[in-house]
Structure 1
Amino acid sequence: MSPLITQVLSLLTLSVLLIGFSRTATLSGPGSDDMLGPDRFEGVANFSTFLLDSVSGMLFMGAKDAIVAVDTNDLSRAPAVIRWDVPEDRRKSCKAKGKTEVDCNNYIRLLEILDDDRIYVCGTYAFDPQCAFLGRTSLSLEREEQEVRMETGKGKCPFEPSQHYTAVMAGGILYTAATSNFLGTMFDISRATGPEQGRIRTERSINWLNDPEFVSASFIQQDPTSEPLGDDDKLYFFFTEVAKEYEMYTKVKVPRVARVCKSDVGGMKTLQRRWTTFLKAQLVCEDRPSGQRYNVLTDVFTLRRDPNDPATTQFYGLFTSQWEREELAAVCVFSLSDINKVMDGPFKELKKTCENWINPEPVPRPRPGQCLNSALRAEGFESSLKLPDKVLTFTRDHPLMENSVTAAPLLLRRGVTYTKLAVTLADGGAGALLHLGTDRGEIHRVAVVGQNTTLLQEVPLFPADQPINNIVLHKGQALVGTPQSLARVAAQGCGLHPSCEVCARARGLGCTWTPTGHGGPHDGTCGPALSGPGPGDMVEEALKKCNSREGRCTPAVRELRVSLGLQLLLPCVQVSPRPCTWTHPPQRHTRQHHSHLEVTVSEESLGTYVCTCQEAGPDRGEPTSCRRAAYDLVVAGPFAGGAVATAGNRHLLAIYILCFCLGLAMGTFLLYFLSRRRPLGLRLAKRSLSSDKGRDLLGSSATPQSPGSASLLSDAFTPSEKRNGTAMTSLHSTQGNGGPHGNHSYSSNLISNSSNASSNPGNGHGEPVYSNYERNASILPADRLDGRTGERGREGGEDVDEGLGEGLGDSMRGLEEEMAKFPLYKSPAPLARCEESSI
């Protein structure tokens, strides 16, 4: 038995090495010097919010019971950990109120820089929000008599760590959008700090805020030199709320943008200590050709194209849909001028009446919700306290605008959940580069040039169970964070694109590839082009220089060796919201899932399948067609393992090798155990046969055959990987616009459909801090999955006999013959039918 055990251990060691190698190859993002894993943070986790000190380059990260300071200029330095936990008596009081042990901690949700070289820090503090002051240079919390100096955080920080929340600092004053009570049922947009008489908030009315989920806030400061009207500074809050204006059978969520003015101090009699300038409008991210709307806002990134002109501000919104069952993500961009234009338009009437016709109230003067400017000050309205009651009453009853801020999606992805968004501009402003974080620890880079979008790269940074919840841009780099880790990656410049194909796809961003052999220092690199892209599709011409047979809209046909009866999901990456169509053999059995195509393989369905998507033309005229994917289905016999073996997915292959070896080791141990216990079993059998009482029990006893001994391979597959004995497999591809993109271009593997269930990660500004994740994926040919027939067990046994040699097979047969001689094993014990789990 010793040589056999040695062989098994060797196979186990080989499989572990394969897994480690495949993992290293998969996480080919930043180097080890640019990664900070959980082992670097002294056990601190649950990072929820980031604050970057752009002067010193110090990154402050709010976590559970601590603040961590990381020097982004030198990540090799040990991070500074500032502890701020909850006393035991506070924890007991929190749990006595019905909260869990996990909730009764201090989750840091607010980090904002003050003008006096301090940082304002607020945490949930066991469902009793508190705020403190952190020194930017001393990296310590201010104390009084050995205790942390604290002040109440109610209205400044949420009570619960998973509540949606956002805040912004404007002129040293904190503005927040958060819940203001223990139960989380009261919502306020408020001026939370400053003089007591200046702390104002929204009206407690569902017309103002109706169960909102706050996402982001932005402060737009006017430039006196470019603003001749002397207009006031403004704050914009982005959130999703339940629509009051729609009467439907279910709650309809709508994305909103709300605006308030910085100098607003409330009214004299009406709207005392309430906003007198609060206005909100609906954001519409809609694909008009299909009529699809994306009504749930998940993140907003504010970008100012011209740093000296606030009017060039744009808001990139990340959306999903309330009505879609599958994962869906869309990106729309809204300009500041369009938002202000809607705020200056007509008001929506929300009065309840039985009449069919409503005469709208005349709009009084000065206009309700208008910020103070030079003209109003000349009329005597130096403050909101001097506004007439009729103006304030109209403002109180008409917070919603009639028109909506509308935009078409720049990007649409199905089957992907994006959690965070950051945007960088190309040199010269020719286009933009979207950096999208996923719930599986990846960064996707998408080029936006005009109305066309191109998926450039999908870079895995973290393990799949770590969703990205923060992206901070600093000096051409992106600081990407999860609840447990931090990474630093390049975010700007053509050097982002590591291969000729990816660089060619970024041609619209002003990048070009310098091939090797020119003798210059930039051989084999992607750099800025001397001249910008000309008219038409320059990407196609750039791809031809890469000696690639594939162009932007001419993908190579990929041959798939399949077996009859197999179900495939052929992917077609749809980046733009325009529709995709498939051409395929006429006699086929298919079903299209949005842009992907499900195919049941038969003799008639063999042939070529081509996916063609529509995109904008070069002159924004009629859309043009672009081929995104092409496949050729070829029969490879009843077992499609050849396609799996040649697919190159070493990670999943190594997992199955490991499972096979584990099953093999278990079977060997069981065989060794039975062979050692055989004399004892013989004595027990004789003793039981001499007893009539024991003979009566044999008819109801279980079969001596072990449930796991039918096949040594059966333990390698979990019940969730079987669906009624049929494998639903798919060909997974990470391509963008039908072509490769560097080291992460393609993965042409037959894989099964995976079911994903995840909760939104926490980012401190609108997302939960902690969540659970479930992922299932498998690589199995269809004829190996049916556990009811027992064929898999026999095939697995034959494979094991071949691999171990004739000695093990003869030993097993000899053991079975000897055991069959005992009357104990001849009793008519019925065998229960092996039924496959339906889980």
Structure 2
Amino acid sequence: MTAAADWIARACLVWWCCCCCFFLPSCFAAPSSVSSAAGLDAQVHNVSNISTFLMDTASGILYLGACDAILAVDTNNIKKTMKNPKKIIWDVPEEKRSACVAKGKTKEDCRNYIRLLEFLSDGRIYVCGTYAFDPQCATVNVLDFSLEKAEDGGVKMETGKGKCPFEPSQHYTAVMADGVLYTAATSNFLGTLFDISRATGNEAERIRTHQSINWLSDPEFVSSAFIQESPDNPKGEDDKIYFFFTEVAKEYDLYTKVKVPRVARVCKGDVGGMKTLQKRWTTFLKAQLVCEDRVGGQRYSILTDVYTVEHRPGDPSSTHFYGIFTSQWEKEPLSAVCVYSLEDIKKVMDGPFKELKKNCENWINPEPVPSPRPGQCITSALKAEGFESSLKLPDKVLTFVRDHPLMENSVVAAPLLVRRGITYTKIAIAPPPVSQDGLSSAAVLLLGTDRGELHRVSVVGQNTTLLLETPVFSAQEPVNNILLHRDQALVGSPRTLVNIPAEGCALYPSCEVCARARRLGCVWRPKEGACAPELAETIQTESDDALRRCDSREGRCAPAEKELRVSEGLRILLPCVQISTRPCSWDYPEDRHTRQHHSDLEVTVSRDNVGRYACYCEDGGREQAPCRRAAYVLTLQDPSTSSVAALSGGRHIVAAYLLSLFVGVILGFLLCVLLRKGRSGAGRSSEKRRDFLPSSDTPQTPSSASLLSEGVPLTEKRNGTLNGHGAIYANCSGARMQEPVVNLAVELDAKEKTSPEEMAEQLEEEIASGLEEFPEVKVPRGAPLAQCEESSI
């Protein structure tokens, strides 16, 4: 009898362990992550810090600059080629790295970070890297994808000072203009000197900025653009290069350093002065960029990225610059998008100059301005007067432009888009899905964030609409590159490359989102259940009319009212999707335990603030009534049922787990009875046994209260909703959901310390009560929350 009992005990123990291993992970596992993006994505193994993109539009080959490596990827099959891409290793010798570390730099910084990739006129690629704080440049032969070699067999290199930054994290920009490289970078090891220079080409024509804080004052370079004038322009204007950066303003007499965004311009034909400004720019002019919300009085003073787009191909006058701004004074994340036309910048550059009088440290308008006008490019009219090049300009003109590089007027624009709580890192502009007459100003902004998201925003005139927010990478991977190629957006992070559609009506998954893209040429087709380009015979309708035609549940201003059963003391976050840049407001019972997070509302539940909550947004402007975007009803419930309400898709798993637990209890009871009979018949003592349910086999699962307070931290929801419901959180003060249900882990730990006789008596009582109450068995603590899914709008 004893042997049989021991055999049954071992069999039951194995069965119990199998049940725990099978059911518990499925019940309490973390929710699976949502697919990041609809497209091809690949992560490069053993490669880090991908920072530079260069696209060969003819072949579709994308060249990537990374740490100690240059990659070549076929964009026609990214996922396959990224697994085994063509790779050039260009690292730093160990002795040079050691010398760099000896100068006080870290081992990671003393590597070769590729910061420049540009095509030369003969088809080769000019590449520059930091090379352990000693910038070096080389050339890549595209045919065999290799670095050109020197006579000694090593890499053929030339100095990269002035062409590439010394430090990997330093701000930098460069652009190739007719085979000549123009750069804006630091020019010394300490990073205290800055230059905007013509870095390649004829040695006699390599010029740079004058070393003066009036020219460049601790700048952070952002972007550059080469603007070609029309060959048949009547004035004979020269081509120009524009540089965008943020610098410390010297025109403000304040105790603190004030940063301002700037645009600077130089002429491609500038070769410096004869005596004054030798080897220096004679056409360097700069102006302040103002991105300001005049109604709210908010000015955005730090420029982070600029994208240049020519809205009418072949017409330089249609060029616009889209910039991402943030504020120097705001503590929370804040991003704004402003757009500037090339014509507005030209007007400011042709306007009055700003001057600082040395005696009173005040800026005034200078008088008089010498002739010919300082800072202008050599035109046909100047050539007719005998000024064939900048070398022929008088010293008084060069002295004036040396002392007065800043313009009096600013280039002013109002923000197209303002987002609080979001930090945009990169911007690109895609044309609308279908071009229409009268919609030449329409465009789609692709905005990358520091949390690995890609936002699509439609722009029609001065009206902007947030269409989609797509998670592309993990929150730890910021978007640092966006490149458009053949209707695709190549989005990069320091380790990953993703290929997703850049435009097209098919991107918009619902009737409501498609209706908001109505002015971009998209229309919802109910029969196909898809968003498609508008046909010529389609009846012309406005966006508001298209929204009204959508299903009532998706209607913009008639959302379904959602009931949330909550417990007193919990904190909940009620989502409200904000589709425009205009503000949103809430109607709710008056109570002080509320706080608005941008468009969402945080509520600490009490008996006084339950009731109806509604969110209203000014989607159509101030001339239209606010639109109701969300509606909720908060009702108090018995706290004991809150964990049951949290279950979503795993009820069948929990039921199977409860059934196995019940069967295990019965078998355990029978086992204990057999063991007690065997011991009484053999006269053995009733000592405690520790091998019945050892601690290593005890299911250690968190309680539902800990899941609520720790598994879902209170963070701002910035897009969509959580399964269409409000997100429920525990009180930060330590208040837990009081539930009279059994904690399985604690229960089993307690039973482990009891004797078999005591356990048998407890099991008899539990089985008797369980047989009576089994139809009403409650869900054990530790049941998982509903999976959180972010929905795009």
Query: What band does the TM-score fall into relative to the shorter chain?
Result: 0.7 to 0.9
CA separation of 1:811/1:591 partners in 2, compared to 1, >3 Å: closer, same or farther? closer
Tell me: CA distance 1:566–1:583, structure 2 relative to 1, closer, same or farther (3 Å). same
Farther off after superposition, 241-250 or 484-493? 241-250
Q: TM-score, normalised by structure 2?
A: 0.81
Match of 1:760 in 2: none
Is the CA contact (8 Å cut-off) linking 2:572 and 2:729 kept in structure 1? no
Change (3 A) 1:231 1:276: same
User: What is the CA distance between 1:367 and its match in structure 2?
Assistant: 1.0
Residue 433 of structure 1, CA deviation: 0.8
The answer to whether residue 342 in structure 2 is matched with residue 401 in structure 1 is: no
CA contact (8 A) 1:253 1:296 kept: yes
Alpha-carbon distance in 1 for matches of 2:734, 2:367: 69
In terms of mean alpha carbon deviation, does 305-314 or 74-83 score higher?
A: 74-83
- Counterpart of 1:2 in structure 2 is 14
Secondary structure (helix, strand or coil) at the match of 1:428 reads coil
Q: Compare 247-256 and 346-355 and name the one that shifted more.
A: 346-355
Give CA-to-partner distance per residue, 1:574-625, whole Å, 9 cap, x none: 45443333222235543344444333322222222333333565xxx84653
Could you say which residue in structure 1 is the equivalent of 2:515? 504
2:63 pairs with 1:60: yes
2:772 corresponds to: none
| Correspondence for 2:482 among 471, 479, 482 | 471
Measured after TM superposition, the shift of residue 162 of structure 1 is 0.6
Partner of 2:178: 171
Aligned-partner residue type, residue 535 of structure 2: L
Say if 2:23 is the partner of 1:11.
Answer: yes
Distance 1:557 1:457 in 2: 23
Does 2:211 match 1:204?
A: yes
Kindly state the Cα deviation for residue 795 of structure 1 after the two structures are TM-superposed.
7.3
Match of 1:27 in 2: 35
Aligned residues: 700
Pick aligned residue for 2:607 from 603, 626, 634 = 603
Within the alignment, does 1:556 sit opposite 2:573 as a pair?
A: no
RMSD: 3.5
Aligned match of 1:781: 730
1:16-415 to 2 correspondences below 5 Å: 19=31, 22-23=32-33, 26-31=34-39, 34-39=40-45, 43-75=46-78, 76-77=80-81, 78-144=84-150, 145-225=152-232, 227-354=233-360, 360-415=366-421
Q: Counterpart of 1:800?
A: 745
Cα displacement (A) at 1:435: 0.9
Deviation at 1:558, TM superposition (A): 3.2
Distance 1:462 1:245, change over 3 A: same
> In 2, distance between residues paired with 1:291 and 1:640?
49
User: Does structure 2 retain, via aligned residues, the 8 Å contact 1:507–1:533?
Assistant: no
Give SS of 2:348's match: helix
User: Could you tell me which of 543, 550, 568 is aligned with 1:546?
Assistant: 550
* CA drift at 1:437: 1.2
Letter in 2 for 1:605: N
Q: Offset at 1:446?
A: 1.3
Q: Does 1:626 align with 2:588?
A: no
Residue 506 of structure 1 deviates from its aligned partner by 1.2
**1-structure distance, mates of 2:583, 2:641:** 32
State the Cα distance separating 1:556 from its structure 2 match.
3.4
Give CA deviations for 1:675-710 in whole Å, capped at 9, x if unaligned.
Answer: xxxx9x99xxxxxxxxxxxxxxxxxxxxxxx9xx99
Match of 1:613 in 2: 617
Q: Secondary structure at the match of 1:394?
A: helix
- The answer on whether the counterparts of 2:133 and 2:166 sit within 8 Å (CA) in structure 1 is yes
* Residue correspondence of structure 1 range 658-697 to structure 2 within 5 A: none
* 1:317 CA displacement: 0.5
- Quick one: which of 810, 815, 819 aligns to 2:751? 810
Question: Following TM superposition, by how much is the alpha carbon of 1:96 offset from its aligned partner in structure 2, in angstroms?
Answer: 1.0
Partner Cα distance (1:360, 1:784) in 2:
63
Displacement of 1:422 in angstroms is 0.8
Q: Which residue identity is paired with 1:27?
A: S
Greater Rg by CA: 2
CA separation of 1:326 and 1:551: change in aligned 2, threshold 3 A: same
Question: Match for residue 532 of structure 2?
Answer: 527
Q: For 1:6-49, what per-residue CA distance to the aligned partner results, in whole angstroms no more than 9, with x for missing partners?
A: 23311354258764xx22xx115224xx221234xxx1221011
Letter aligned with residue 459 of structure 1: T
SS of the equivalent of 1:147 reads coil
**Which piece of structure 1 moves more, 303-312 or 393-402?**
393-402
Judged with a 3 Å threshold, the aligned counterparts in structure 2 of structure 1 residues 98 and 648 are, in CA distance, closer, same or farther, namely farther
Could you tell me which runs of 5 or more consecutive residues in structure 2 were left unpaired when the two chains were aligned. Answer: 1-12, 658-684, 689-694, 760-793
1:129 Cα offset (Å): 0.3
Distance in 2 between residues matched to 1:607 and 1:730, nearest whole Å: 24
Note if contact 2:643-2:704 (Cα within 8 Å) is conserved in structure 1: no
In 2, the alpha carbon distance for the partners of 1:592 and 1:373 equals 57
User: Counterpart of 1:541 in 2: which secondary structure?
Assistant: helix
Counterpart of 1:635 in structure 2 is 636
Q: Which amino acid aligns with 1:570?
A: L
Deviation at 1:528, TM superposition (A): 1.2
Aligned AA (2:481) = N
Which stretch shifts more, 196-205 or 591-600? Answer: 591-600
Tell me the distance in 1 between the aligned counterparts of 2:298 and 2:494. 33
* Identical-residue share of aligned pairs (%): 60
CA 1:398–1:815: 2 relative to 1, 3 Å: farther
- Structure 2 contact 640–740 (Cα < 8 Å) conserved: no
Q: Following TM superposition, by how much is the alpha carbon of 1:373 offset from its aligned partner in structure 2, in angstroms?
A: 1.1
Aligned AA (2:16): L
Instruction: Work out whether residues 709 and 730 of structure 2, in 8 Å CA contact, stay in contact via their aligned partners in 1.
Output: no
Structure 2 residue matching 1:732: 3-state secondary structure: coil
Change (3 A) 1:640 1:264: farther
| Residue identity in the other structure for 2:58 | V
Q: In structure 2, what residue type is equivalent to 1:371?
A: C
Structure 1 pair 349–633 and aligned structure 2 pair: CA distance change class (3 A)? farther
Whole-angstrom CA distance in 1 between matches of 2:722 and 2:743: 35
Alpha-carbon distance change, 629 to 294 in structure 1, aligned in 2, over 3 angstroms: farther
| Alpha-carbon distance, 1:647 to partner | 7.4
**Structure-2 separation of matches of 1:640 and 1:403:** 65
Counterpart contact for 2:465–2:581, Cα < 8 Å: no
CA separation of 1:629 and 1:140: change in aligned 2, threshold 3 A: same
Match of 2:443 among 424, 432, 453: 432
Distance, in Å, in 1 between the alignment partners of 2:529 and 2:704 is: 48
Partner SS, residue 532 of structure 2: strand
TM-score (normalizing by structure 1): 0.77
CA distance in 2, matches of 1:326, 1:649: 38
Equivalent residues of 2:115, 2:129 under 8 A apart: yes
**Secondary structure in 1 matching 2:400:** helix
